[in-house]
Amino acid sequence: MRAMPITCVRSPRANPPSLIHPPGGCRFHPRCPQAMAGLCDREDPPDFAPRPRHLSACWLDR
């Protein structure tokens, strides 16, 4: 049997958002390298379906 390839998962190098005082807009925008100013920091993204049977709550998938 072939071995599965090892993939590297990148994790943000910042503290997680506060659960008591979450940031406005997308909860990941303070530590997302692709956050779009004026959108991610103001509006919570809805669920998008970038491909069948896959949902994403990210403005990049609109």
pTM comes to: 0.66
Residues β-bridged to residue 48: 56
Dihedral angle sign, alpha carbons of residues 17, 11, 31, 28:
negative
Q: What length does the chain have? A: 62
- Cα–Cα distance for residue pair 46/25, rounded to 1 Å: 11
Each residue of 48-60: pLDDT tens digit?
998 899 899 999 9
**Secondary structure of 38-55 in the HEC alphabet?**
CCCCCCCCCCEEEECCEE
Note the pLDDT of residue 18.
Answer: 83
Each residue of 24-35: pLDDT tens digit?
999 889 888 999
